[in-house]
Amino acid sequence: MGPKIDHWNNEKERVVVITDLALLICKYDFIMLKCLQLQRVPLNNVNRICLGSFAFPERSLDRREGEGLRIYWGKQREPDFLSRWNPFSTEVPYATFMEHPVKNTNERFSDICQISMFVSQLVPAVQSVQAKDPARTEGVRVEHEPLAIDTYTGLMSFIGNRNKLGYSLARGSVGF
């Protein structure tokens, strides 16, 4: 999979892995070859998967083109006020992804960076785990709708995204 787009429209390169019981979202440092951060989302908690184009407020200065994937989990549908307006919040009950910029460099990258391939593996994995839970009455919903990103000025995301600051790249003697 490719970059995660946070609720402030910042691209953050992530490795996403589907296991038998969980979705692992890993911030991996490709320079130092180590995992810096790991978010574990139990597949049983995934309740909605949305595919669609990115949608911004009418007067937003920093827009992005293309399509993405948003995975919702837990009971809360939208982040609360404090989480939404805190750029460092980790309490957002969803993750938004887009295809990685290197997807067209060769066939191998193309296969592992495609959103459609990822969804075709994620949906059956979630359904399999949820079918084993007798307390679960509702399955995962797959929807096609615009993915709203509520940023208006987006100065920090504009600078960060244009300079690929969310990616693990060698920058002189500094890697981040």
Classify the phi-psi angles of 156: left when phi > 0, otherwise alpha if psi is within -120 to 50, otherwise beta: alpha
- 28 in any annotated domain: no
Number of domains in the chain: 1
Scan for tokens 């307390």, then name that residue. Answer: 135
- 25 in any annotated domain: no
What does pTM read for this prediction?
Answer: 0.81
pLDDT of 10 over the 70 cut = yes
pLDDT of 126 over the 90 cut = yes
pLDDT of 163: 58
Instruction: Decide if 118 contacts 69 (C-beta within 8 A).
Output: yes
- 38 in any annotated domain: no
Mean per-residue pLDDT, 136-149: 88
Count CB atoms within 10 A of the CB of residue 43: 20
- 58 in any annotated domain: yes
pLDDT of 173 over the 50 cut = no
pLDDT of 143 over the 70 cut = yes
CA-CA distances (angstroms) from residue 132 to 4, 125, 142? Answer: 29, 11, 19
SS3 118: helix
pLDDT of 165: 60
- 142 in any annotated domain: yes
pLDDT of 175: 45
Query: For the stretch 68-95, what's the b/e string if a residue is b when 16 or more beta carbons lie within 10 angstroms of its beta carbon?
Result: bbbbbbeeeeebeeebeeeeeeeebbbb
Give whichever of 3-12, 91-100, 105-114, 144-153 has the largest mean pLDDT: 91-100
- CA pair distance 89, 100, nearest whole angstrom: 23
- 36 in any annotated domain: no
DSSP structural state of residue 167: S
pLDDT digits (tens, 9 = 90+) for 92-112: 889 999 887 777 777 777 778
Which of residues 86 and 32 earns the better pLDDT score? 32
* Range scoring the smallest mean pLDDT among 35-39, 40-44, 74-78, 119-123: 74-78
- 134 in any annotated domain: yes
Q: Are strands 22-29 and 15-18 parallel, antiparallel or unpaired?
A: antiparallel
The mean pLDDT of the chain is 80
Query: For the stretch 128-139, what's the b/e string if a residue is b when 16 or more beta carbons lie within 10 angstroms of its beta carbon?
Result: ebbeeeeeeeee
pLDDT of 171 over the 60 cut = no
Mean per-residue pLDDT, 25-35: 87
Mean per-residue pLDDT, 147-170: 61
- 148 in any annotated domain: yes
Q: Which residue range is the domain that position 117 belongs to? A: 3-10+43-153
- CA pair distance 150, 144, nearest whole angstrom: 19
pLDDT of 157: 55
Q: Which of 71, 73, 65 is nearest to 51 (CA)?
A: 71
Q: Are strands 141-144 and 46-55 parallel, antiparallel or unpaired?
A: parallel
